[in-house]
Structure 1
Amino acid sequence: MPRDITPLTGLRENLILQEEKILQAWRALVPPEQTLLAESLADSVRDLLLLMYECLSGIGTEAGTDTRHLAYQIAQQVLEEHDYQTLINVFRDALQEAVMDYTALTSGDAARNLIAFFTIVTDAYWLAYSDGLRKAIRHQYRERLSNELRVAKRIQQRLLPKVIPQIPGWEIAGRLVPALEVGGDYWSVKHYANDGVITCKLADVTGHGIGAAILVAAVKFISGGFYRGAPSASWVMERTNHVLVVETPSDIMVTMVYTWIRPATGQITLVNAGHGPVFACRDGQVRTLAPTGPALGLLESRYSEVELQFRPGDILFFCSDGIIEARSRDPAKAREMFGTERLHEVVCGFSHLPAAEIADKVVQTAIDFSGTPNDDMSLVVIKRVSDDA
């Protein structure tokens, strides 16, 4: 629907001719392969020109709003296919030259209205350009973050055990449910048959993304490398801590549970570097196992050990804080966390099941409680099922 143009002396008679001049100038800016785009924008430019003539007689609220909206749309269309210089050319060739021949014919009020019109158009153009920059930056950030998360997840998955040792009389199960923002969780298990020892550990590195994934990989290989010839599990933890204190930034912290399991005797040696929760379950009763030293990477420290003598039916469980700190998906209980008490109930309540099924029950219960995890959920279940070894 064409707009009603307020007649102005010397302008009305030349409007059609001036429109054609502007459209020709606009078409000259656009490459031949962009013909359809040029025609589409030509219509918008013509409408903006009509708004300009309307505004010469006084910019009302409606005209000002229409001008801002249309100028923003034109700028968006131009910037989708071209650069900011082309946008400036549209402003210059399609608008500024349109009034050069008529400036002398306008009154002082009309001149002020013209300046106000150009100010609105310029602001709208700049807003579209700024919005485009922000959109591009967000896209680049999301793309970079997406690539980083893919790499981090790949690193994290490759750290997980490929094979779980099958030891008569024992069951070991572990799970890692990665969050959307990959953290620094991992767990591992390895059987040193010649020594009659199974090492099992779970670690949680502060931070997220590829940095945390790389650091947790380093922790795995450092601690694993110190096993050979180690006099004790605590010695392995102390040497691992020393490397992290010396080689990593002071704000990096790693919590870790490290165990030596001797299947033949039922003995488990446990070292806990600032990690929780860690507990044993026997006949439905929970025994909480406190840290035996500080988190790794903070300061040089000694670590003590806890000796456990397992009998059939006993369970050792440890997990990352992503499980106990998971918050309720119920909006009315958004501040409620999964917590250790609920965790104890699940593990001990299903202690009659195989270790793998206990692990699955914990994960499923936590996800049912919280929905999609905001932090990695990792856990290890060690169960002695018989005296056979």
Structure 2
Amino acid sequence: MESQSRTFQDAIIDFLPDATLVIDREGTVIAWNKAMEALTGVPAEAMLGKGNYEYAVPFYGTQKPMLANLIFMSESDIEKRYDSVERSGDTLVVDIFIPDFRPGGTFFWAKASPLYDSKGNVTGAIETIRDITDRKRAEQEIVRSRRSLADIISFLPDATFAIDREGFVITWNRGMEELTGIPAASMIGKGAYEYALPFYQEQRPMLANLILMPEAEVESRYTHVQREGDTLVVDTFIPSLRGRSGRYFWAKASPLYDPEGNVTGAIESIRDITERRELEGRLARSNAELQIAAEIQTSFMPKVIPQIAGFDIAARAVMAKEVGGDFFDVIPFEIIALNKGTLGLLIADVAGKGVPAALFMALSRIVVRVNALWHRDPAKAISDSNNIIAQDAKSGMFVTLFFGTLSEGDRTLTYVNAGHNPPVVFRSRTETLEELLPTGIVLGAFENQEYFSRSLSIGPDDLVVMYTDGVTEAINAEEELFGTDRLTAIIRETARLPAQEILDRILSGVREFSGDMPQFDDITLLVIKGTR
């Protein structure tokens, strides 16, 4: 009987989704489940019987006490040496970060409890470990207290029950009591599918019952059930449960075996995933809306960069999210009565990210474009644009902007810098660098501000590189900034290349510098190169 009980416990431990180990009073490993094998890469055969904290090596790279070992220490010793450990009765709980477990480190939640003999003496300890880096599921605690099957299941966070070979309930845990409102005392020993009544209002097979059916019958009658080895998994919708509207559930069932390997029953865990399903639906709708917004925003950007004699022009925007606040524009002035061979060039960065920044970007682009086509003087165009944008900037948003008119007639760029990152100018004859500093404040902050226009000539092989702060403020794994020095170094190295190749080299330089770090900000570049 004890062997069968122990086998049940081993089956349950291996069934657990969380990594679990058990040590005896001397600190020797007596259980190391499949989830622990998957988490550490160490098979149970290589760990069972090991002591001297060897089971800590896969986690810390060194032999040191695990949470289970603290179970054997006095309460005062634990409180004095391990202030991050919380005690709940005779159970210890801790959240911990292990920096070297995987690249970038891993957060774990761990829980340890003592094991007792029939006389109440502590004979060992059990520890459950959960990777909570991606999912914080602290409520799904797996608490282990005693060696009996019922005690183990009782502490599982998911609603769980077990049936014997004849379909009678042998375990009905606390999670199942909370989910169904039916206490274990009222369900233990029930058969004839009575345990399905709380879910379906009729007596019908549950997933655990399918474990006891022939595989061919399950596959022919229950096409929505997935099989993973000897385990069955299903997502299902139940229209009504305890008077509540329809709920989505995830369920998993596995067989229980006796010492000879015969199936003696089945265990099923049930999880309410309604909130997750609803969130997935909202995310799907949101992603679709973002995709539409991204396509609209992309349509704002010129697909083909107009060119004029004497200049080679390239531009590109790389958004950190689906939509963003950076933008550029190339405005051909031939549509109005201005000198032919003139382009309006614009690069801008809205303070903020995501949809709000994209909406503010759309407003700013339209306002500046209209005023740029109306006024010959860039300073006047930006001044009028600022007044319009400031009137509508109720949320405190603003935009930095560099706007200029490029003329093929006299090879000049007449510009206004409204608080934007100073573009870099490279002079090919002297190989010197200069910056086009601000000539006014950001747009949208205050009305009736003064802006000044300045001009510079662009000779053959001279460069003007306009950029947003997503370039210079890109960071690497050491949290270093890309900075202007790296940018100007690339400009010097590539100054003889065409404008598009210079732009591509700057972008690849930023990507190589950042490595695996995510792009935190939009990146926009506009390059003007004088030609002969």
TM-score by length of 1: 0.69
SS of the residue aligned with 1:174? strand
Deviation of 1:227 after TM superposition, in Å, equals 2.5
**What does 1:41-190 align with in structure 2 at a 5 Å threshold?**
80-82=236-238, 85-86=241-242, 129=272, 132=273, 135-136=276-277, 138-140=279-281, 142-180=283-321, 182-190=323-331
Give the equivalent residue in structure 1 for 2:392. Answer: 247
SS of the residue aligned with 1:326? coil
Given that 1:148 and 1:209 are in contact with CA atoms closer than 8 Å, whether structure 2 keeps it comes out as: no
Given that 1:174 and 1:187 are in contact with CA atoms closer than 8 Å, whether structure 2 keeps it comes out as: yes
Deviation of 1:145 after TM superposition, in Å, equals 4.4
Deviation of 1:134 after TM superposition, in Å, equals 5.2
Q: Quick one: structure 1 residues 26 and 354, their matched pair in 2 at CA, closer, same or farther if it must change by over 3 Å?
A: same
Q: Quick one: structure 1 residues 184 and 174, their matched pair in 2 at CA, closer, same or farther if it must change by over 3 Å?
A: same
**Number of residue pairs the alignment of both structures matches:** 303
Give the equivalent residue in structure 2 for 1:381. Answer: 527
Deviation of 1:176 after TM superposition, in Å, equals 1.2
Structure 2 CA distance for aligned equivalents of residues 33 and 360 of structure 1? 67
Q: Quick one: structure 1 residues 41 and 252, their matched pair in 2 at CA, closer, same or farther if it must change by over 3 Å?
A: farther
Matched letter for residue 173 of structure 1:
A
Structure 2 CA distance for aligned equivalents of residues 32 and 167 of structure 1? 78
Q: Quick one: structure 1 residues 380 and 278, their matched pair in 2 at CA, closer, same or farther if it must change by over 3 Å?
A: same
**What does 1:249-268 align with in structure 2 at a 5 Å threshold?**
249-268=394-413
Q: Deviation per CA, 1:173-217, whole angstroms, max 9, x where unpaired?
A: 001122235321111112223523210101111222222222212
Given that 1:184 and 1:213 are in contact with CA atoms closer than 8 Å, whether structure 2 keeps it comes out as: yes
Structure 2 CA distance for aligned equivalents of residues 218 and 34 of structure 1? 60
Q: Deviation per CA, 1:286-309, whole angstroms, max 9, x where unpaired?
A: 101111111110002111112101
Unmatched 5+ stretches in structure 2: 9-147, 151-167, 171-185, 214-232, 245-268
Give the equivalent residue in structure 2 for 1:192. Answer: 333
Instruction: State which of 413, 423, 437 in structure 2 corresponds to 1:290.
Output: 437
Given that 2:426 and 2:434 are in contact with CA atoms closer than 8 Å, whether structure 1 keeps it comes out as: yes
Structure 1 CA distance for aligned equivalents of residues 406 and 364 of structure 2? 20
SS of the residue aligned with 1:85? coil
Structure 2 CA distance for aligned equivalents of residues 359 and 5 of structure 1? 66
Q: Quick one: structure 1 residues 208 and 84, their matched pair in 2 at CA, closer, same or farther if it must change by over 3 Å?
A: farther
TM-score by length of 2: 0.51
Structure 1 CA distance for aligned equivalents of residues 501 and 455 of structure 2? 26
Query: Is 1:26 aligned to 2:195, yes or no?
Result: yes
Instruction: State which of 368, 374, 378 in structure 1 corresponds to 2:512.
Output: 368
Given that 2:499 and 2:529 are in contact with CA atoms closer than 8 Å, whether structure 1 keeps it comes out as: yes
Q: Quick one: structure 1 residues 22 and 170, their matched pair in 2 at CA, closer, same or farther if it must change by over 3 Å?
A: same
Given that 1:174 and 1:381 are in contact with CA atoms closer than 8 Å, whether structure 2 keeps it comes out as: yes
Matched letter for residue 377 of structure 1:
I
Q: Quick one: structure 1 residues 323 and 298, their matched pair in 2 at CA, closer, same or farther if it must change by over 3 Å?
A: same
Q: Which structure has the higher relative contact order (CA within 8 Å, separation 6+)?
A: 1
Structure 2 CA distance for aligned equivalents of residues 325 and 15 of structure 1? 62
Structure 2 CA distance for aligned equivalents of residues 201 and 222 of structure 1? 12
Q: Quick one: structure 1 residues 154 and 375, their matched pair in 2 at CA, closer, same or farther if it must change by over 3 Å?
A: same
Deviation of 1:151 after TM superposition, in Å, equals 2.8
Structure 2 CA distance for aligned equivalents of residues 373 and 33 of structure 1? 55
SS of the residue aligned with 2:484? helix
Structure 2 CA distance for aligned equivalents of residues 5 and 282 of structure 1? 80
Deviation of 1:355 after TM superposition, in Å, equals 0.6
Structure 1 CA distance for aligned equivalents of residues 203 and 501 of structure 2? 63
Given that 2:194 and 2:203 are in contact with CA atoms closer than 8 Å, whether structure 1 keeps it comes out as: no
Structure 1 CA distance for aligned equivalents of residues 401 and 522 of structure 2? 15
SS of the residue aligned with 2:374? coil
Matched letter for residue 288 of structure 2:
N
Given that 2:422 and 2:466 are in contact with CA atoms closer than 8 Å, whether structure 1 keeps it comes out as: yes
SS of the residue aligned with 1:246? helix
Q: Identity percentage over the alignment?
A: 28
Structure 1 CA distance for aligned equivalents of residues 235 and 282 of structure 2? 20
Give the equivalent residue in structure 1 for 2:46. Answer: none
Give the equivalent residue in structure 2 for 1:354. Answer: 498
Given that 2:399 and 2:444 are in contact with CA atoms closer than 8 Å, whether structure 1 keeps it comes out as: yes
Deviation of 1:364 after TM superposition, in Å, equals 0.8
Q: Quick one: structure 1 residues 15 and 319, their matched pair in 2 at CA, closer, same or farther if it must change by over 3 Å?
A: closer
Matched letter for residue 238 of structure 2:
H
SS of the residue aligned with 2:314? strand
Give the equivalent residue in structure 2 for 1:39. Answer: 209
Structure 1 CA distance for aligned equivalents of residues 395 and 281 of structure 2? 30
Unmatched 5+ stretches in structure 1: 7-13, 44-76, 89-123
Matched letter for residue 523 of structure 2:
M
Give the equivalent residue in structure 2 for 1:305. Answer: 453
Structure 2 CA distance for aligned equivalents of residues 200 and 225 of structure 1? 13
SS of the residue aligned with 2:507? helix
